[in-house]
């Protein structure tokens, strides 16, 4: 019997609940103890194993971050070159204040006339730029640490790449980008470029997830008013958690740009024969003897779920792009950039990329 870790196991249970009797005679799902947990294992040993696994995952992400930063910067440069010089200094042009330049600040951001009057370098901020903050929230939960083939990136890596590439483009355009953590705004390291500091902040969030676990959705009570927030996740979470989150951000008001990350196997269930699917977030495994007979119902359920996600986002004034990890990052970023810029029709380009 084949065995596979699989992130959307709740989709399989929903399919089983409504269609398994049509396809099979007798029970087909075996629900046992969660994957990786033995019934007789001491609680201390279980917690120690989980902490060790989180540390290994954090080290793995940190090792890949330099390459992801380089890729993100290259993609952002490509997008920036395609803007044809229509660069904006911020969200508006009404003067707000001067602030001291930060380490790694691009020289093009410096107001040299004001800086010549002091021993410090200063950046001129507009009123709208000060009021508007662009936040990044990256889902680092276990369901994101999965890929169906070694030739594909993990969903987590693609989420990090898309967020860093978008951040690099926004930074080039003079925008302020911050990283949101479960406890609030993530502190940034003192050294490195702004993009490198964001990447290091993500690595720190992953490393600290043993004591401060981060879920799929951001802590909405910590989102400031009038912010734009980029949320990269597979959104394999209950509607009871997602809808209140979207509603609360709309009431601040804040605008969310949802980047839904999916592995191609999650969209099509390309398995044959008997397979035992192991959940990644303490779900019980699901044993299916003829998994291919559920494919049509499964695909219908996934399509309906994705359509509902887009509708829920639109209801509260947010938007959503769906990205499959087998596809290039650039088309998704073009669609996302159009949404952030407010170009009409951009949501249609980004629905299924």
Whether residue 104 is predicted with pLDDT greater than 90 in this model: the reply is no
Separation between Cα atoms, residue 338 and residue 169, nearest integer Å: 12
pLDDT confidence of 142, banded at 50, 70, 90? confident
Domain regions of the chain by residue span: 61-90+132-273+289-350
| Average pLDDT of the residues of the chain | 78
More confident of the two residues 331 and 94: 331
User: What pTM was estimated for this model as a whole?
Assistant: 0.73
pLDDT on residue 321:
96
* Burial environment of residue 294 by CB neighbours within 10 A (0 to 12, 13 to 18, 19 or more): buried
pLDDT number for residue 34: 28
Alpha-carbon gap, residue 322 to 108, rounded angstroms? 34
pLDDT band for position 7 (cuts 50, 70, 90): low
Most confident stretch, 5-9, 58-62, 237-241: 237-241
Q: What are phi and psi of 144, to 5 degrees?
A: -85, -15
**Do 308 and 50 form a contact (C-beta atoms < 8 A)?**
no
Inter-CA distances, 87 with 91, 121, 175, 316, Å: 11, 22, 11, 29
Tokens of 260: 């839904």
Residue 233 has pLDDT above 60, yes or no: yes
pLDDT tens sequence across 52-98:
444 455 566 677 888 889 999 999 888 887 654 444 434 445 555 77
The confidence score (pLDDT) of residue 91 equals: 45
CA 47 → CA 59, 66, 122, 207, distances in Å? 18, 30, 49, 16
| Contact (Cβ atoms closer than 8 angstroms) between residue 73 and residue 193 | no
Rounded Cα distance, 60 and 5, in Å: 19
Whole-number Å distance between alpha carbons of 270 and 247 = 35
CATH architecture of 61-90+132-273+289-350: 3-Layer(aba) Sandwich (3.40)
Of 93-97, 136-140, 215-219, 329-333, least confident by mean pLDDT is 93-97
- Candidate from 88-92, 212-216, 334-338 with smallest mean pLDDT: 88-92
Q: φ and ψ at 11, to 5 degrees?
A: -65, -45
Give the model's confidence band at 338: pLDDT under 50 very low, under 70 low, under 90 confident, else very high: confident
Structure-block tokens of residue 104: 């790694």
Average pLDDT over residues 226-240: 92
* pLDDT tens for each residue of 159-179: 999 999 999 999 988 888 999
Torsional sign, CA 156, 152, 61, 102: negative
Among 227, 237, 143, residue whose Cα is nearest residue 184:
227
The pLDDT of 184-196, averaged and rounded, is: 88
Stretch 316-321: mean pLDDT, rounded?
A: 95
Question: How far apart are the C-alpha atoms of 164 and 168, rounded to whole Å?
Answer: 6
* Per-residue confidence (pLDDT) for residue 344, from 0 to 100: 42
| Residue 20 confidence class, pLDDT cut points 50, 70, 90 | very low
User: Closest Cα partner for 57 from 155, 131, 134, 137?
Assistant: 155
Mean pLDDT of 148-168: 94
pLDDT average, residue stretch 252-267: 95
**Cα–Cα distance between 132 and 311 in angstroms, integer?**
25
């Amino acid at each position: 019997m084949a065995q596979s870790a699989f992130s959307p196991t709740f989709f399989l249970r929903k399919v089983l609940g409504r269609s398994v009797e049509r396809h099979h005679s007798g029970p087909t799902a075996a629900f046992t103890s969660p994957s990786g947990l033995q019934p007789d294992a001491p609680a201390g040993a279980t917690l120690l194993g989980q902490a060790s696994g989180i540390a290994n995952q954090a080290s793995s992400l940190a090792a890949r971050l330099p390459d992801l930063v380089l890729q993100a910067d290259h993609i952002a440069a490509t997008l920036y070159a395609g803007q044809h010089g229509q660069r904006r200094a911020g969200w508006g042009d009404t003067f707000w204040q001067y602030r001291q330049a930060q380490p790694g600040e691009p020289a093009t951001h410096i107001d040299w006339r004001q800086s010549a009057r002091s021993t410090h370098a200063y950046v001129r901020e507009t009123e709208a730029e000060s009021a508007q903050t662009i936040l990044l929230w990256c889902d680092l939960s276990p369901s994101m640490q999965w890929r169906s083939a070694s030739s594909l990136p993990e969903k987590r890596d693609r989420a990090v790449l898309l967020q860093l590439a978008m951040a690099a483009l926004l930074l080039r355009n003079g925008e302020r980008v911050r990283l949101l953590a479960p406890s609030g705004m993530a502190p940034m390291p003192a050294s490195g470029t702004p993009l490198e500091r964001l990447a290091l902040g993500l690595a720190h969030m992953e490393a600290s997830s043993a004591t401060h676990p981060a879920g799929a959705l951001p802590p909405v009570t910590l989102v400031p008013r009038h912010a734009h927030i980029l949320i990269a996740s597979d959104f394999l979470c209950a509607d009871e958690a997602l809808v209140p989150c979207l509603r609360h951000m709309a009431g601040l008001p804040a605008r969310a740009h949802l980047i839904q990350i999916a592995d191609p196997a999650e969209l099509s269930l390309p398995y044959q024969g008997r397979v035992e699917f192991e959940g990644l977030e303490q779900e019980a495994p699901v044993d299916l003897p003829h998994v291919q007979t559920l494919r049509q119902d499964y695909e219908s359920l996934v399509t309906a779920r994705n359509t509902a996600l887009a509708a829920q986002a639109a209801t509260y004034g947010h938007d959503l792009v769906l990205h499959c990890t087998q596809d290039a990052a650039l088309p998704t970023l073009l669609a996302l950039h159009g949404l952030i810029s407010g170009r009409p029709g951009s949501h249609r380009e980004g629905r299924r990329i």
